[in-house]
Structure 1
Amino acid sequence: MWHYVAKRIVYVIPIAIGVTVFCFALVFLAPGNPVQMLLPADATQEVVDLVMKTYGLDRPLPLQYWTWLQRAAVGDLGVSIQSGRPVLDEVLQALANTVILSLGAVLVAFSIAFLLGTLAAYHRGSVTDRGVTALSIVGVSIPNYWLGIVLVIIFAVEFNWLPATGMGPGGSETFDPFLWDHFRHVILPVVTLCMVPVGMITRTTRSAVSEALAHEFVNTLRAKGLGELAVVRHALKNALPQVLAVMGLQFGYLVGGSILVETIFNWPGTGALLNKAILTRDIPVLQGTILVLALVFVLTNLLVDLLQTAVDPRIQRA
């Protein structure tokens, strides 16, 4: 087991290095000069050159990458061109806000989808199965930004039951899930984000549980006199690794792909930070945010891989 864990961790190292190359090079493909966002339109070339030298943007790209990589390895992602704050502080604060939404959406989606998928698999071919399958297709098909707008119109504008924007009352930048005034702000964005994971995890659970129930060991368990609940429990244990894999992927996608939902609900997460950095051409923030999100996705997949091995040791590779 420990040999397998060490091997998977070693595999992450070249992936992480490749991620740094991609994150550094990607932002330079966009047109425009970030220095122009800081200086007035009538700034002289001498002033532009001075600012470029100050931020190290006048050096060759390989040298810029090597310097950036050395600093990033010790947690120094530079300073924001627009705010002057350390990039790592801004990214970690925004990431914590995004994780609140993503983790809430995945947990809600897993709870609902695992139950629906199990019911559909156990009653395969029935009306329940067809109904659950239809719901999962609807969940996957609905664009989350459109759903977010509809939920705002219904629950925030028409009925005024839930707030439409922000993390808390009065524009609070902190979130306390144990306070109702704060918790009610997270309901609409979490519901918006969880629809696609509900559809994906439901379909995966149905497929995995159906496959497990078709195995010969299920007939053996029933022949030994086990009740249906115990039989389903054994089938779920065999289906859990596949479901965990999909759940981990969905969490990674939500952390890195919630920019539209965060914009709709004015949630100060990584999506909003990326949107602001793109508009202002804040290269250090762009690089730092993309790097952290990519590493979170890689580490999430590593964690899911290890959890799969803990649940079912048969998936270990030599």
Structure 2
Amino acid sequence: MLRDVVALAYDGVGTFGLGIASEVFGFDRGPEGLPTYDFAVVTEQPGRVRTDTGLDVHVEHGLERAARADLVIALGWEHGDVDPPEAYGQVLRDAVARGARVMSQCTGAFVVAASGVADGRVLATHWRYADELARRYPAVRVDSDVLYVDDDPLFSSAGSAAGIDTCVHLLRREHGAAVAAAVARRLVVPPHREGGQAQFVEGPALPPDDGQRLRDVLVWASERLDEPLPVERLAARALQSPRSFARHFRVLTGTTPLAWLLAQRVALAQELLETTDLPVEEVARRCGFGAATTLRQHFTRRLGTSPQAYRRTFRGTGEPALVAT
């Protein structure tokens, strides 16, 4: 269970990523009934550390504080052409060796890659730095087309805001959909974005109101997941032809209407399994899958566990269910 989290700080550390880690894992939400963590920022030489925006932060803890962490976060690394100090690599190797998890945010992927723990594994990073990361560390499989990658025990995000998505995803794995949704609401961010969603999608210019129109359709659809929602119905709601709607949907979201619907339905199923005693057949109906067999098929494909096993896990021991990557 995730209880102890540290973030690695070094010269030029990413300010925004440091803020994300501190907000998600350092803020005390215990009074709200949410998990709390023993959170610390650590550095090789405690004291003043310069961030990438020139803002100095005072870091009290040395790297030895990371020895008991369940999660070590490698924040943005400003010096892509220079290997990080070996001491940080040792922290990451020790973390993986004892069964802890490692997360990188944006160019923090360079720190993880330099340590060797990602050899033969997949890392996401910002598309701007993906080629350089792949060139410097050929043993790492770099994915520049996604928001984040879950290659447990490694979690990596593509860019600054995607770091929030990665943290929320990890909370969902550790504590379940209800906790992840509650934290996301506090952060005023979507409770779930698919990691495989594109970082950016180039496409034709769209009318300026298309973004708001699509948001309205998504809200409308998310309130009717128990109903049939073919692309024709969604397109009609957006006052577009099905072909235009599907094209605009991909341009604006980086995914397809069907993939988005499946993700929302599985997420709702997770929430209902955690928070209600509804039979699996009824959960399937309320999520729009129709039958329990269909729910089990999509649930297992996405999460690597059955609905029944997921319910036992999150309503029983509190230990995280296995999730396919």
Question: If the length of structure 1 is used for normalisation, what is the TM-score?
Answer: 0.23
Task: Select the structure of larger CA radius of gyration.
Answer: 1
Relative contact order, higher structure (CA 8 A, sep 6+): 1
Greater percentage in helix:
1
Q: Taking structure 2 as the reference length, what is the TM-score of the superposition?
A: 0.23
